[in-house]
Chains A and B, each alone.
Chain A
Amino acid sequence: MTEALLEVTDLKKHYPVRAGVLRRQVGTVHAVDGVSFAVGVGETLGLVGESGCGKSTVARSVLRLVEPTSGQIRLEGEDITHLSKTALRPHRRSMQIVFQDPFASLNPRMTAGDIVGEPLAVHGLAAGKELEARVARLFEQVGLRPDQMGSFPHQFSGGQRQRICIARALALEPRLIVCDEPVSALDVSIQAQVINLLIDLQRQHGFSYLFIAHDLAVVAHISHRVAVMYLGRIVEIADKDELFRNPRHPYTQALLASVPIANPLAKKLAPLVDGDVPSPVNPPSGCAFHTRCRFAMDRCKTERPALLEAGDGHRVACLLNEGTGRSQ
């Protein structure tokens, strides 16, 4: 991997659970519970997991949209974990986000052109004719026509709205774009258009993506490396090819086996896990996956496996894979 653009170290985000008349704290949601990863320059790191695994909380913490409970976030070498709002502002330019629902993340009373131009105006980078010209260029970059700048969000289709969101994120020429389920709300044929756009833009501009999705196939397509999360922790992280060819964590294996393959002659769907994801309020002791794991041993109930090297940048948090790292 090249130099790291974003480095996250032991990130934790806990939410108190309050109940009763006195709103006393009765528990803690371990939304993110010790997550570390790095995203290189020009790289796409995919973050997959099922609902409630903490992937969106990681995304929001990285942008400081939620305040992490502990841990460290370094962007381009600088620690931004505790910067004040004013000190953070210049860094905000280098990191942008594209949300899942392009219907909810655009102000319905602003024109598409104003929405895309707003970040430029807020940061005082352009005004008047110059602003208009830059917005027009951004529209072209994402495959919209500049004459649509005066239209309002409701006049666009879902896919076009997501293009507006992407144009807005591009406006400040960021180094990192966090994509939180950017295509899950779109139809299959439109989804492909947006994924292609994201890939093309990265090739042109060389920025990095932290790409969050629950759809393994989408993540596999766009990412260079993939991290799998379960109940607030990363259980496996590796290069894309390595992860899909050689999944080592039982949860990753179960996830892959659960994806229905679009080929009627392929191996039939085999659910490798029973039951539901446990509550993050009282996550299981030891390895959080032991309640659903086919290979669970007694040790798994008490010992929490660390994310250990298993060869070639492939890291796994599973007691079965302990000491299987190839020294090369």
Chain B
Amino acid sequence: MTNKSDLVLDVKNLKTVFFTNSGLFKAVDDVSFTVRRGETLAIVGESGCGKSVTALSLMRLVPDPPGRIVGGSVTLEGTDLLALDEAQMRAVRGNRISMIFQEPMTSLNPVMRIGDQIVEAVRLHRNLSNKEAQNIAVEMLRLVRIPEPARRAREYPHQLSGGMRQRAMIAMALACRPALLIADEPTTALDVTIQAQILALILDLQKELGTGLVLITHDLGVVAQTAQRVIVMYAGRKVEEASVEALFAAPKHPYTRGLMASIPAVPASGVAAPARLNEIPGTVPSLVRLPKGCAFAPRCKLAIKRCEAEYPPLADWGGGHLAACWRAEEVAEVA
């Protein structure tokens, strides 16, 4: 597994900032991670934690202005994407690295047939005739298990259901067999039975094609069921990273622990009366006025003086389990 050629994506010290009227804010602050061939890395966090901006930074799609990537490197299959000019990046985007979004209806062109949209993506990167590309489009729609793919290819996005549209998006994203697929909340807009179908599909295809997958989600259930490694983000920074088993068995950061405790679970055997959940007090801080020390300290039960003064370094707690907390050792003891 440690074979270097296995490494699809290597992100080092990524920094993305936004210049706004109310000041500069660091949406992504010094975030590093890697993804291997066929591996699923989940990035989890709440709104405003920087998980989507991380994804857009990998794709070099951060709107500039107001945003800008100001530091770090994003190495995809040995090439630093941040060093490419826009034309070179266009040859990579949608080809070696592609992305699917939360809301398929806003990412599909409403006045273009589904098949033609896939053909456009394929012909942009591969020297194929229209006929050949059409065949690939139908083949891709079959691969994502859309019934009657030849007929569906001639339909427009509005004629498809939400689940079908997301399947079409996946078909388009995978048409060029990218090395890395980024899925930003791919099932959040879908009903739970459809979500289960789409997640199963993404995982099957990933196994079949060996694609590296970055899955961005706020849903810890989705993380547990899909990922091998997990990054937890809070206020623009990576606060914890671990294998999925290690993270759920013993979270080291109080924020991760708090998140896990605050999700209601479907009862296996129930409690009679509605029970209160463990809540994390307060709200996510504004990225413009971040505290000097740990951004989670104001909401943290374990916070001490030091937390307010100094940002804790990401330390390895064994087996690649990283956490940025001064009191990580005590987290497990405090309920």
Q: Residues of A with Cβ closer than 8 Å to B? A: 44, 50-51, 157, 159-160, 187-193, 195-196, 199-200, 202, 214-218, 220-224, 240-241, 244-245, 254-266, 268-274, 276-277
A215–B318 alpha-carbon span in the complex (Å)? 36
Shortest beta-carbon distance, A204 to chain B, in Å? 13
Contacts of A262 in B (CB 8 A): 220-221, 223-224, 248, 260, 263, 265
B264 touches A261 (CB 8 A): no
> Which 6 residue pairs of A and B lie closest in terms of their CB atoms, listed nearest first?
A260-B221, A241-B270, A192-B262, A50-B191, A258-B196, A221-B264
A187 touches B192 (CB 8 A): no
Contacts of B185 in A (CB 8 A): none
Q: Does B151 contact A (CB under 8 A)?
A: no
A188 touches B270 (CB 8 A): no
A28–B226 alpha-carbon span in the complex (Å)? 41
Q: 11 pairs across A/B with beta carbons < 8 Å?
A: A157-B283, A196-B277, A196-B279, A199-B276, A216-B266, A220-B266, A220-B270, A221-B274, A241-B269, A244-B267, A269-B196
Contacts of A215 in B (CB 8 A): 192
B192 touches A255 (CB 8 A): yes
A276 touches B194 (CB 8 A): yes
Interface size, B (range) = 35 or more
Q: Write the chain A residue with the least CB distance to B283.
A: A157
A273–B281 alpha-carbon span in the complex (Å)? 38
A269 touches B266 (CB 8 A): no
A193–B263 alpha-carbon span in the complex (Å)? 11
A240 touches B164 (CB 8 A): no
A192 touches B278 (CB 8 A): yes
Report the tally of A-B residue pairs with Cβ distances under 8 A: 154
B264 touches A220 (CB 8 A): yes
Assuming the contacts A190-B283, A274-B197, asked whether A261 and B276 have C-beta atoms less than 8 A apart, the reply is no
Q: Which residues of chain B in 186-234 are interfacial with respect to chain A, using CB atoms and an 8 Å cutoff?
A: 191-197, 199-200, 218-226
In the complex, per-residue mask of B234-278: 1 if CB is within 8 Å of any chain A CB, else 0 = 000000000011001000000000111011111111101111111
Q: Does B3 contact A (CB under 8 A)?
A: no
Contacts of B248 in A (CB 8 A): 262-265
B258 touches A257 (CB 8 A): no
Shortest beta-carbon distance, B167 to chain A, in Å? 11
Q: Write the chain B residue with the least CB distance to A265.
A: B245
Assuming the contacts A196-B276, A260-B225, A264-B244, asked whether A254 and B262 have C-beta atoms less than 8 A apart, the reply is no
A187–B47 alpha-carbon span in the complex (Å)? 7
Shortest beta-carbon distance, A143 to chain B, in Å? 10
A258 touches B224 (CB 8 A): no
Q: Write the chain A residue with the least CB distance to B44.
A: A188
Contacts of B276 in A (CB 8 A): 196, 199-200
A264–B247 alpha-carbon span in the complex (Å)? 9
Shortest beta-carbon distance, A21 to chain B, in Å? 22
